Structure 1
């Protein structure tokens, strides 16, 4: 989680600097960000499907006393 917070913090600092300098951000248009979100979500589908399709482990199939 720490790398995500550092990345967010760095982005905020850069955004403030851009604002103070009156420079427009080189960030991509919203449509590109939506596409990136789709890519990130797509990367998670296969691992999620594998976990859901995996047979139950021995620890989870043991009868409770």
Structure 2
């Protein structure tokens, strides 16, 4: 039930923002797509900040995980790494 209430709250917030900037809902296609892109990028802010605070590498995370989430699985030439491979690479870098 909580995800539904949170989704409703986010929708109301977006509706208020649309009203403030003078965009009618449903938004014109370009505005709607840019808004969706903003949502995808905004979702990545929290994990990136958490990694920065924890002192973990951020650039590789953005290039791999964030890019794949925002742009789709085809983003990046490298195949997705398994959790074991990612952990092994991190340990190898820390030892060097």
TM-score grouping bracket, smaller chain normalisation: 0.3 to 0.5
| TM-score after normalising by structure 2 | 0.27
TM-score (norm 1): 0.39
Greater relative contact order (Cα 8 A, min sep 6): structure 1 or 2?
A: 2
Pick the structure with greater CA Rg: 1
